Homo-oligomer: A and B are copies of this chain.
Amino acid sequence: MPRIRHTALDCSPGCAVEATLELIDGKWKGVILYHLLEGTLRFNAIRKRLPNVTQRMLTMQLRELERDGFLLRTVYPQVPPRVEYSLTERGRSLEPVIMALKRWGDRHTTFGRSTAVAEAAQ
């Protein structure tokens, strides 16, 4: 998605939908947020959960999430370096959104079909 989508956020009620989408858009942000809901993770730990992300992209996505206030980046002055990422309160406030996305995906995508029965049984 483009960066500056709403110079003026005066486009009727539906705009809040786009405004939120804009923030969690980016090729990996959704999954990153999802994994961080489980707890703090180091850079390479996140990388392991996203087998196809390049180092460059992961760094970029994390920086944007940090810039938008969703996560905290903690650098420990060690060698080799140790950097931990954890959700802020604002980041955790996205949980309903992330989980809604996940539930829908589980139930309606090919990937999710395998778990569809279990989910439906809730």
> Which residues of A approach B to under 8 Å, CB–CB?
1-2, 5-6, 9-21, 23-28, 30-31, 33-35, 49-52, 90, 93-94, 96-98, 100-112
| Cβ 8 A contact of A17, one of B6, B34, B51 | B34
Given A11-B51, A21-B24, A25-B25, CB of A16 within 8 Å of CB of B111: yes
Copies of this chain, tallied across the complex: 2
Is the beta-carbon distance between B27 and A1 smaller than 8 angstroms? yes
Is the beta-carbon distance between A18 and B1 smaller than 8 angstroms? no
Is the beta-carbon distance between B15 and A31 smaller than 8 angstroms? yes
A87 to chain B, nearest CB (A): 14
Given A25-B25, A52-B11, CB of A105 within 8 Å of CB of B35: no
